[in-house]
Structure 1
Amino acid sequence: MNRADYDRYLAAFNAKDYDAVCDFYAQPMGMDFFGIAIRSREDMKRFYGFLHAHVHESVRVLNFASSDTLTAVDAIVRIEAYRDLTPEILEANGCGGLFPIMAGQVQELRQFIFYTITGGKIAKVECAMLPPGA
């Protein structure tokens, strides 16, 4: 995935166009982060539909590198809450590994995202991040 492809992917993500986002993925999907496993288009729509009903999420790329088999992104993910996401709400929705955030709060999280590429499609996504404020 070159930078132009990634920019199209990110534009679809930031626009919450989950069908367009899913088109970048091989099937079955392999997205694992913070205790969440996404394996299908339906999983992605369910997870991000839930999350984005509570927060506005945007991604700003700091560094980008890619090859035929890997795309690596160093990014700031900005989370702006317009509804509370308490630990209880997160846990009840299978998202207990995410950080709670209350309406009106903003978190900026530095994330290191690695996309394994197979046949030009995203086959696997792995993510690591620094804790808020680090």
Structure 2
Amino acid sequence: MNRAGYERYAQAFNDRDYDTVFDHYAPGASIRYFGVDLGDRDAFKRFYRFLHAHVIETLTIERFAASDDLVALEGVIRVEGVRDLDAATLAAEGLDQFIPIAKGEVQEMRQYIHYHLADGKFTSVGCAVVGLT
């Protein structure tokens, strides 16, 4: 996958086009974020529909590298609360590990994300968060 292909993926994510985003993953891909298994289309869409009902989340790519079997990037995830998302609501969804956010609050996280590839599709993804910027 080249930078232009990844930019299309990132744009689909920013546009909340969950089916297009999920189509970038190979069948059986390992998709886990912060302990949440998003390995099938329904789980993926359910999680992001819930999250994006409370926040606007955007990815800004700052550094990008790719080969036939790996995409690696550094970027900033910006999360802006559009509706209060408190600890009780997160807990009810089984998302205790997430940080509550109030309407109007902005959180920015530097992330390092690695995608493993096979035949141009993501087979796994892992990310590390270094903290708020």
1: CA distance, partners of 2:103 / 2:76? 20
Partner of 1:10: 10
Shift of residue 95 of structure 1?
1.9
Partner of 1:85: 85
Whether 1:120 and 2:132 are equivalent positions in the alignment is: no
Partner of 1:56: 56
Q: Which runs of 5+ in 1 are unaligned?
A: none
Whether 1:25 and 2:29 are equivalent positions in the alignment is: no
3-state SS of paired residue (1:13): helix
Task: Indicate conservation of the 8 Å contact 1:36/1:97, yes or no.
Answer: no
Q: Please, what is the CA RMSD of the aligned residues?
A: 1.0
Structure 1 letter corresponding to 2:111: Q
Count of aligned pairs between the two proteins: 133
Task: Indicate conservation of the 8 Å contact 1:61/1:74, yes or no.
Answer: yes
Partner of 1:102: 102
Structure 2 letter corresponding to 1:80: E
Identity of aligned residues (%): 45
Moved more, 56-65 or 20-29: 20-29
Runs of 4+ in 1 over 3 A off after TM superposition: none
Moved more, 94-103 or 115-124: 94-103
Shift of residue 132 of structure 1?
2.4
TM-score by length of 2: 0.95
Q: Which has the higher strand share?
A: 2
Shift of residue 123 of structure 1?
0.6
